[in-house]
């Protein structure tokens, strides 16, 4: 089959690889019909390179048709249409029973000290072959895959694999009080969907901050009050403007949907780039021990949120020893909540919104549909934010 494979920093290719097969009684094989490209993939494309091996298959946002199931997957049959969560979880361990499948104790990658295994997400998450491929082996298929109806386009349900539950969790964790305000940093697919969900749930003031004109424009059209980072002299001016718009105090909650690739921390950027040029073993250690994150977005969130407010991190951070302004966090009495999205935890809340009325606008959410063979171009364009790109869906 053909699959998108990682070969080095900013080098992805479409290779011919062996078809996946059922290996465990709880496996299923999916024929992928659509597969998303995510901001998380961009981390692998560049800064998480030390944790990748050449030939690793990328991707974690698939929808498709079940081809084959193992003997211990009672609820699925060949021909079923399913969307598959980006994390692999068992559904019956202590963590899964408590709604925390990203911490699944059956699939935890203990060698790396990580939580649940993820599709296509480096050695840190189990080196599981990913979903930007014609076929996908789905481990723990007795729990993960979500059956969806025939009829609507793939895009209607595809985002249940990641974007929707991630944005949903971000807004839930933000815990905006009635009549309150929410600022969302980053208006990529995750941030923009977080804005849509917050507005749908009745959050009164939703503020979006980014610096890409097309992304600001898209959010504005849906009723978000947008602030263009690049229009301010410095961060302090931006913070002052947002504060002024929120009664002088700042928003009640801030969602950070940027993560480690934030613009605006040049020193850390140099460190990060050095890490990706070092020999692999050294680079991995530097990344984990020294902490090479770019924390610009998180620092902005900390300064922006009102005293006593909440920060909800959905952007991915990966350094182990990044400096945090503890004085400010403590003094402002900030609540910090974060993590990979617990996909199945939120699916029952989200599914009723995936109707013909399409209140979240999922049917038209993708900016680009491309064949899987265009993956190298898709990654490049998405990283550079060219051509008005936001969400890319690839078709094998």
Ligand X SMILES: NC(=O)c1ccc[n+]([C@@H]2O[C@H](COP(=O)([O-])OP(=O)(O)OC[C@H]3O[C@@H](n4cnc5c(N)ncnc54)[C@H](O)[C@@H]3O)[C@@H](O)[C@H]2O)c1
Distance, CA of 185 to CA of 227 (rounded, Å): 10
Asked if 229 is part of the footprint of ligand X (rule: CB under 6 A), the reply reads yes
Answer for which of 50, 315, 319, 396 binds ligand X (CB under 6 A) is: 315
| Helix and strand counts by DSSP (H, E) for the chain | 13, 15
Asked if 166 is part of the footprint of ligand X (rule: CB under 6 A), the reply reads yes
The tokens describing 139, both together, are: 């481990």
What's the closest the beta carbon of residue 353 comes to ligand X, in angstroms? 19
Query: 377 vs 43, 98, 147, 159, 382, CA distance in Å?
Result: 16, 41, 31, 22, 8
Nearer to ligand X, 259 or 319 (CB): 259
Answer for which of 14, 296, 302, 375 binds ligand X (CB under 6 A) is: 296
Q: For the window 322-361, what string marks contact with ligand X as x by the rule CB under 6 A? A: ------------------xx--------------------
Give the end-to-end CA distance of the chain in Å, rounded to a whole number. Answer: 10
Asked if 104 is part of the footprint of Zn ion (rule: CB under 5 A), the reply reads yes
By CB neighbour count within 10 A (0-12 exposed, 13-18 middle, 19+ buried), where does 331 fall?
Answer: exposed
Sign of CA dihedral 177, 307, 317, 42: positive
What's the closest the beta carbon of residue 111 comes to ligand X, in angstroms? 21
Asked if 73 is part of the footprint of ligand X (rule: CB under 6 A), the reply reads no
- What lies within 8 Å, CB to CB, of 162 at 6+ separation is 36, 38, 40, 60, 61, 85, 86, 341, 343
Asked if 171 is part of the footprint of ligand X (rule: CB under 6 A), the reply reads no
Distance, CA of 205 to CA of 207 (rounded, Å): 6
Answer for which of 130, 191, 250, 251 binds ligand X (CB under 6 A) is: 191
Number of alpha carbons in the 13 Å side-chain half-sphere of residue 84:
38
Nearer to ligand X, 17 or 338 (CB): 338
Answer for which of 138, 185, 268, 311 binds ligand X (CB under 6 A) is: 185
Nearer to Zn ion, 106 or 181 (CB): 106
Distance, CA of 15 to CA of 4 (rounded, Å): 6
Size of the residue set binding ligand X (CB under 6 A): 35
What's the closest the beta carbon of residue 382 comes to ligand X, in angstroms? 7
Query: To 10 degrees, the CA torsion angle through 125, 156, 385, 55?
Result: 40
Q: For the window 32-51, what string marks contact with Zn ion as x by the rule CB under 5 A? A: ------x-x-----------
Nearer to Zn ion, 104 or 238 (CB): 104
Asked if 162 is part of the footprint of ligand X (rule: CB under 6 A), the reply reads yes
> Which parts of this chain interact with ligand X (CB under 6 A)?
38-40, 42-43, 162, 166, 185-191, 209-212, 215, 229, 257-259, 261-264, 296-297, 300, 314-316, 340-341
């Amino acid at each position: 089959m053909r699959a998108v494979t990682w070969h080095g920093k900013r080098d992805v290719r479409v290779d011919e690889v062996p078809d996946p097969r059922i290996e465990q009684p709880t496996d299923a094989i999916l024929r992928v019909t659509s597969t998303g490209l995510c901001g998380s993939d961009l981390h692998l494309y560049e800064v998480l390179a030390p944790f990748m091996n050449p030939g690793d298959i990328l991707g974690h946002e698939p929808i498709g048709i079940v081809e084959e199931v193992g003997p211990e997957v009672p609820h699925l049959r060949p021909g079923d249409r399913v969307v598959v969560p980006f994390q692999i979880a068992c559904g019956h361990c202590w963590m899964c029973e408590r709604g925390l499948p990203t911490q699944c104790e059956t699939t935890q990658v203990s060698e790396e000290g990580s939580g649940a295994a993820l599709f296509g997400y480096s050695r840190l998450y189990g080196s599981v072959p990913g979903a930007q491929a014609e076929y996908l082996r789905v481990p723990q298929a007795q729990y993960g895959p979500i059956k969806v109806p025939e009829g609507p386009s793939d895009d209607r349900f595809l985002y249940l694999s990641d974007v929707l539950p991630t944005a949903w969790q971000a807004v839930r964790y933000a815990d905006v009080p009635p009549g309150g305000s929410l600022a969302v940093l980053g208006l990529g697919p995750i941030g923009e969907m977080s804005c849509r969900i917050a507005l749908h749930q009745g959050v009164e003031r939703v503020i979006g901050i980014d610096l890409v004109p097309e992304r600001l424009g898209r959010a504005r059209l849906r009723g978000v009050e947008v602030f263009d980072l690049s229009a301010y002299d410095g961060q302090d001016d931006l913070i002052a403007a947002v504060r002024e718009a929120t009664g002088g105090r700042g928003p009640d909650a801030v969602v950070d949907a940027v993560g480690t690739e934030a613009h605006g921390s040049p020193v850390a950027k140099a460190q990060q780039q050095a890490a990706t040029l070092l020999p692999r073993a050294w680079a991995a250690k530097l990344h984990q021990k020294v902490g090479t994150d770019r924390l610009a977005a998180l620092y902005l969130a900390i300064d922006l949120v009102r005293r006593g407010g909440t920060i909800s991190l959905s952007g991915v951070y990966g350094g182990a020893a990044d400096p945090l302004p503890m004085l400010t966090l403590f003094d402002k009495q900030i609540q910090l909540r974060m993590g990979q999205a617990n996909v199945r935890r939120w699916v029952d809340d989200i599914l009723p919104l995936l109707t013909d009325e399409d209140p979240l606008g999922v049917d038209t959410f993708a900016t680009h549909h491309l064949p899987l063979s265009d993956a190298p171009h898709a990654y490049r364009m998405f990283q550079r934010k060219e051509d008005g790109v936001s969400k890319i869906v690839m078709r094998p």
